[in-house]
């Protein structure tokens, strides 16, 4: 009996990991049914939900500014799942997806990574397939924003621009200068307080 329970717990834990979180399972099922996803597309959907977490999330160029997603909505992964399954071979979707995620998280997308030919569906160019999936992901994100405007308000944050060594040094000096000014202001305030007390 104990062995059966342990096996059951292990199976449930594995399922939760595959779905990224047990709380997403209902949403994945609902969206899969709405979109009429195939078994292969549902697999791609689950991998997207599981892997599109953490700090390295997709970056978009919006109005000339680099903006990073704060999270990837389940709906965006569901929408992109068809493109993912069309691009990557079923059993290798989980192996191909990290390359796509890495590309998606880059602020500069001029260099498209080549992907292992064994991961790519027959007849597709392994040098452009990642960009094809990205285009679908971007389109699905835009569609999500149009559909869910209220939920999309906090979907992006600004990516801080990369500073040159000179700019970093100037920023450091400016921070030190500001800190010194704050210290002097605090000391001045303390002296004024003491002077008023002594009077």
Kindly report the pTM of this predicted structure.
Answer: 0.72
pLDDT digits (tens, 9 = 90+) for 14-54: 444 444 445 578 899 999 999 999 999 999 999 999 999 98
Q: Are strands 59-62 and 65-69 parallel, antiparallel or unpaired?
A: antiparallel
Q: How confident is the model at residue 175 (pLDDT cuts 50, 70, 90)?
A: confident
| Tens-digit pLDDT profile for residues 98-146 | 999 999 999 999 899 989 999 999 999 988 999 999 999 999 999 999 9
Beta bridge partners of 156: 69
Give how far the C-alpha of residue 147 lies from the chain's centroid of Cα atoms, to the nearest Å: 20
Mean pLDDT across the chain, nearest whole number?
86
**CA separation for the pair 101, 72 (Å, rounded):** 11
Taking 50 as the threshold, does the pLDDT of residue 154 lie above it? Answer: yes
Categorize the per-residue pLDDT at 166 as very low, low, confident or very high, splitting at 50, 70 and 90.
Answer: confident
- DSSP state letters, 65-100: EEEEES---HHHHHHHHHHHHHHB-GGGHHHHHHHH
Whole-angstrom Cα distance, residue 29 to residue 56?
26
């Amino acid at each position: 009996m104990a062995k059966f329970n342990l096996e059951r717990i292990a199976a449930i834990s594995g399922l939760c990991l595959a779905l990224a979180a047990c709380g997403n399972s209902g949403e994945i099922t609902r969206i899969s049914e709405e979109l009429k996803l195939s078994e292969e597309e549902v697999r791609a959907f689950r991998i997207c939900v599981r892997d599109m977490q953490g700090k390295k999330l997709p970056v978009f160029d919006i109005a000339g500014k680099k903006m990073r997603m704060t999270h990837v909505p389940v709906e965006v992964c569901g929408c992109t799942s068809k493109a993912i399954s069309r691009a990557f071979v079923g059993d290798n979707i989980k192996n191909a997806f990290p390359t796509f995620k890495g590309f998606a998280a880059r602020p500069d997308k001029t260099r498209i990574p080549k992907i292992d030919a064994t991961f790519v569906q027959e007849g597709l160019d392994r040098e452009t397939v990642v960009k094809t999936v990205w285009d679908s992901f971007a389109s699905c994100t835009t569609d999500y924003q149009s559909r869910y405007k209220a939920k999309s308000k906090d979907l992006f944050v600004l990516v801080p621009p990369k500073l040159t060594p000179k700019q970093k040094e100037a920023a450091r000096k400016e921070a030190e200068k500001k800190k010194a000014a704050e210290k002097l202001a605090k000391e001045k305030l303390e002296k004024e307080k003491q002077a008023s007390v002594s009077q």
